[in-house]
Amino acid sequence: MALRHAVLAALLDEELSGYQLAKVFDLGMANFWHALPQQLYAELTRLEKDGLVTGREVVQDTRPNKRLFTVTDAGLVELERFTEAVTKPSAIRDDLLVKVRAADHVGAEALIGQLTERAGFAQAKIDLFEKLLHTMRGGRTEEEFLRYGDRVGPYLTCLRGLAFEQGNRDWCVRAASALRERAACRSRG
Amino acid sequence: MALRHAVLAALLDEELSGYQLAKVFDLGMANFWHALPQQLYAELTRLEKDGLVTGREVVQDTRPNKRLFTVTDAGLVELERFTEAVTKPSAIRDDLLVKVRAADHVGAEALIGQLTERAGFAQAKIDLFEKLLHTMRGGRTEEEFLRYGDRVGPYLTCLRGLAFEQGNRDWCVRAASALRERAACRSRG
DNA sequence: GATGCATAGTCATGAATATGACTAGTCAGT
DNA sequence: ACTGACTAGTCATATTCATGACTATGCATC
C-alpha cells in the first residue's frame, strides 16, 4: 500500500475529480510522488470501494460529467494509522546518478550535457516551487505562516521539494564543472 | 531498461559475485538506487545472456563456489549509449512526505516522532558518506582529487548522496520544530 | 469544415519491483 | 549437540507501475 495514502492526502485539501487529480497530483506532491492518470483512476475506484473516499456525480452541460471525490472519516482514520506506522526511508531512483557513477568509463561530453540539462530543469522547478511557497504564505513571513497559518502540510512538502531541486542544481553544476576541468587537464597533459 | 545499467555501472570498478553485489549495491549507488538480491541475480543472468558481462566460476573449498562478473566491451558500449540517451528526471517516492502533506489532518505527535527518527537515520547516512568520501580522496583535498584522482564517478555520486541526506536531516528537523511550535501555540491559545 | 486541443475517463497488457520461502554447506558460540 | 548467523544462490508469486490505444463531447482556430 503506497499510492493509496498519497491519493488520500491529495484529496484532503480539496474535492477533486480523477481528471483534476491527475493534473495536480505530481506537482502537489512536490515531485516526491508520481503517478499516471490510469493509476489514479484505478486507485480512486478502489478507495471508494473500501469506503475511504466518496464520489459525487456532477452533471455538466458543456463538458462531460465528472465525479468529485472527498475523503471520508474512515479515510482519515486510515491516514492516521498510516502516519503512525513505520516506513522505510525513501526509495530514490535516478538514471543520471547511474550515468555519473560510470563517469570514468564513458565520454565526458555526453555526461556534461546531461548534467547541464538537468541543472536547467532543476532551476525551473526551483522557480516554480518558490512561487508556490510565496502564494501559500500570502503576505506573511515563513516563520509567521508556519506558526499561525492553516494547512502547513503542503507548504512543508513544497519546502522539501525546493531544497531537493536546489541540491540537484548545485550538484549538477559542480559535477559538470569537475568533469570539464578534468577533460581540460587531460587534453593539456 | 533501468536496473541493467545500474548493475553495469556497479561492476565497472570491481569484479563481483551476485552475492557481493547484493551487499554493496545500495550503498555503492549512494542510496540512489535500490534492488533486492533476487533482482540482481536475475539481472546478472540476463546481462550475461546478452553478452554485456561475463562470469567466471571461482571454486572455493571452505565456502560455496561463486561466479565473479566483469563488464565486457559490449557492456561498455551499451553504457555509453545509455549515457547519451535522454532520461526523464528522477522519480522519487517517499512515504514520509505523504505523511507530512497530511499534517493538518492527523495527530502531530506521531508525525514529529517519524520526522525525528528520519533525521537520526539521515545523520547516520551523513556520517557514513563523509567517511566514504574521506577514504576515497585519501590524503588529497576534494579539489585536488576531483582534478587528478582516478575514478571520480563514485565520488561524485556519493557527494550527491551526502547532500541529499543533509537536505533530509535539515528538513526533518525544521518540519518537526514547526509542528512542535504549532502544537504549543494551540495548547496555549 | 477539418484539424487540433481540452475535458473526462476506460481497457488491456507488459515490464519492473517486492514478498516469502527454500537449498546447502561453514563457522562460532553455548 | 544444538542454535543461529554467514556465504551463495534459486524459485514462485503478488503487487505496483508504465505503455499505448480508445471513446466521447465541446471549443477554438485556421
Q: What is the pLDDT of residues B138-187, one digit of tens each?
A: 999 999 999 999 999 999 999 999 999 999 999 999 999 999 999 888 77
Under 8 Å between Cβ of A69 and B53: no
Is B89 part of any domain?
A: no
Residue A143 counted as domain residue:
yes
Q: Is residue B41 part of a domain?
A: yes
Q: Say if B103 is an interface residue toward chain A (CB within 8 Å).
A: yes
Domain C-terminal end among B84, B117, B139: B84
CA distance A39 to A137: 32
Phi then psi for residue B34, to 5 deg, are -135, 140
Residue A60 CA to residue A47 CA, distance in Å, equals: 24
Read off the C-alpha cell for A152: 502547513
**Among B residues 37-66, those touching chain A with beta carbons less than 8 Å apart:** none
Whether B128 and B175 map to the same domain: the answer is yes
| Cross-chain residue pair B101–A152, CB shorter than 8 Å | no
- The whole domain housing B56 covers 3-84
Give the whole-number percent of chain A exceeding pLDDT 70: 99
The span from the CA of A100 to the CA of B154, in Å, is: 8
Lowest mean pLDDT among A43-57, A84-98, B25-39, B116-130: A84-98
* Amino acid letter, residue A88: K
Give pLDDT, residue B14. Answer: 92
Q: Are residues A184 and A110 in the same domain?
A: yes
- Give the C-alpha separation, A108 to A113, whole Å: 9
Nearest to B111 by CA among B95, B100, B122, B98: B100
Write down the pLDDT at residue B1: 63
Report which residue is nearest nucleotide D10 when distances run from CA to C1'. B38
User: Above 90 in pLDDT, residue B110?
Assistant: yes
Minimum CA–C1' distance nucleotide for B39: C17
Whether A90 is covered by a domain: the verdict is no
CA–CA dist A128, A131 (Å, integer): 5
Neighbouring residues of B161: CB distance < 8 A, sequence distance ≥ 6:
B30, B31, B32, B125, B129
Q: Could you tell me which of A181, A99, A49 has the C-alpha nearest to residue B81?
A: A99
- The C1' atom of D14 and the CA atom of B138 lie apart, in whole Å, by 46
Cβ pair B92:A89 closer than 8 A: no
A47 touches strand C (CB under 7 A): no
Residues 113-132 of B with CB under 7 A from strand D: none
Does A2 sit within 8 Å of B101, measured CB to CB? no
Q: What is the distance between the alpha carbons of residues A26 and A33, in angstroms, rounded to a whole number?
A: 6
Tell me the per-residue pLDDT of A82-103, one tens digit each, with 9 for 90 and over. 999 887 777 788 999 999 999 9
Tens-place pLDDT, residues A109-124: 999 999 999 999 999 9
Domain final residue, candidates B48, B65, B84: B84
B76 lies in the same domain as B99: no
Q: Choose the final residue of a domain: A84, A112, A130.
A: A84
B88 touches strand C (CB under 7 A): no
Q: Is the CB of A41 under 7 A from strand C?
A: yes
Q: What angle do CA A57, A58, A62 make, to 5 degrees?
A: 140
When CB atoms are compared, the residue of B29, B100, B106 closest to A101 is: B29
The secondary structure of residue B31, as a DSSP letter, is T
Tell me if B90 is assigned to some domain: no
For residue B189, is pLDDT > 70? no
pLDDT-derived band at A58 (thresholds 50, 70, 90) equals confident
| A166 assigned to some structural domain | yes
The domain tally of chain B equals 2
Which residues on chain A are in Cβ contact (under 8 Å) with B26? none
Q: Which residue has the cell 570539464?
A: A180
Distance CA B6, CA B109 (A): 39
Q: CATH number for the domain including B33?
A: 1.10.10.10
CB contact under 8 A, A102 and B118: no
